């Protein structure tokens, strides 16, 4: 971990317009939770709000955080100022990841827990389950999207398609996708904490190992891409 890169990445995350959007997403989720709680009977809207938060808000926050710490610098080539230093590219990748991961946990996973508590104060265990499941999924999402940002300039679009189409629409239609969907791995972990979260049937061990593999693999890939970063001239 490199403290200078941690600091610069945090400043890049908070100092731009993206930072506002990042805060807006969980804010909308929480407002929704409050409204649903006020307008419906006990826990009626619970599943709807938490599913929305888990399948839409969480990957969106991870995508925005991951691309904010790396994307603009890669796009405009100014990452060359960081890379022209004798710092391991994997350390740079890991440092940027930590910042994006912290944002994802605080603004993506934690709001799931809070929303759960708002909607049903009598069942904190289920709220914690959603929060922990969100943190596990967020950990893998952030790493995957960081790798995507290091790989292509179109990381936001591809990330959105992945989150909405692959994990969202197709994940609902095609049962087998749960084996290769990050969201399903997170839910599996949540099921382990509270049985009220629908089980995915892939096993806790598989879910944790798959999430860890995607996280580590994506981080290694990000570092390797940075090592081969090519500066395109204007000519």
Partner 1 sequence: MSVITIDQASRWYGNVVAVNGISMTVRPGVTGLLGPNGAGKTTLIALMSGFVAPSAGTVTLDGEPIWRHTDAYRTIGLVPERELSFGYLTGRQFVLANAELHGLADPGAAAERALEVVEMTEPAGRRIGTYSKGMRQRVKLASALVHDPSVLLLDEPFNGVDPRQRLHLMSLLRRMGAEGRTVLFSSHILEEVEQVARQIEVMVSGRHAASGDFGQIRRLMTDRPVQYVVVGDDDRALAGALIAEPSVVAVALRRAGGVDVSVSDFGAFTVRLPQVARQHGIRILELTPTDESLESVFAYLVGG
Residue 172: Cβ within 10 Å count? 10
- Distance between CA atoms of residues 63 and 108, nearest Å: 10
Q: How far is the CB of 107 from partner 1 (least distance, A)?
A: 20
Residues in the chain: 235
Per-residue binding string, partner 1, 70-89, x by CB under 8 A, is --xx--xxx-xxxxxxxxxx
231 binds partner 1 per the rule CB under 8 A = yes
5 binds partner 1 per the rule CB under 8 A = yes
* Contact of 133 with 42, CB cutoff 8 Å: no
Nearest to 62 by CA among 180, 188, 155: 155
Query: Where does residue 42 rank: exposed (0-12), middle (13-18), buried (19+ CB within 10 A)?
Result: exposed
21 binds partner 1 per the rule CB under 8 A = no
**CB-nearer residue toward partner 1: 23 or 114:** 23
Per-residue binding string, partner 1, 87-106, x by CB under 8 A, is xxx-----------------
**CB-nearer residue toward partner 1: 125 or 153:** 153
Q: Which of residues 49-68 bind partner 1 (CB under 8 A)?
A: none
- Distance between CA atoms of residues 136 and 128, nearest Å: 12
7 binds partner 1 per the rule CB under 8 A = yes
Q: List contacts with partner 1 (CB under 8 A).
A: 2-5, 7-8, 11-12, 15-16, 72-73, 76-78, 80-89, 227-235
């Amino acid at each position: 971990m490199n403290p200078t890169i941690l600091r610069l990445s945090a400043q890049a995350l908070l100092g731009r317009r993206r930072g506002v959007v990042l805060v807006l997403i969980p804010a909308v989720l929480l407002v929704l939770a409050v409204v649903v709680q006020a307008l419906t009977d006990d826990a009626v809207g619970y599943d709807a709000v938490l599913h929305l938060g888990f399948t839409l808000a969480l990957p969106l926050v991870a995508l925005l955080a991951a691309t904010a710490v790396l994307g603009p610098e890669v796009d405009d080539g100014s990452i060359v100022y960081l890379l022209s230093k004798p710092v391991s590219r994997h350390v740079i990748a890991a440092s940027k990841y930590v910042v994006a991961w912290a944002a994802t946990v605080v603004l993506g996973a934690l709001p799931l827990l809070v929303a759960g508590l708002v909607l049903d104060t009598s069942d904190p265990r289920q709220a914690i389950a959603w929060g922990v499941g969100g943190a596990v999924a967020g950990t893998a999402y952030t790493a995957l999207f960081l790798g995507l940002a290091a790989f292509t300039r179109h990381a936001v679009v591809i990330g959105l398609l992945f989150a909405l189409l692959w994990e969202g629409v197709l994940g609902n239609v095609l049962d087998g996708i749960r084996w290769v969907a990050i969201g399903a791995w997170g839910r599996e972990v949540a099921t382990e904490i509270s049985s009220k979260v629908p089980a995915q049937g892939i096993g806790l061990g598989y879910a944790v190992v798959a999430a860890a593999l995607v996280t580590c693999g994506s981080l290694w890939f990000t570092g390797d891409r940075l090592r081969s970063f090519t500066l395109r001239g204007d000519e």
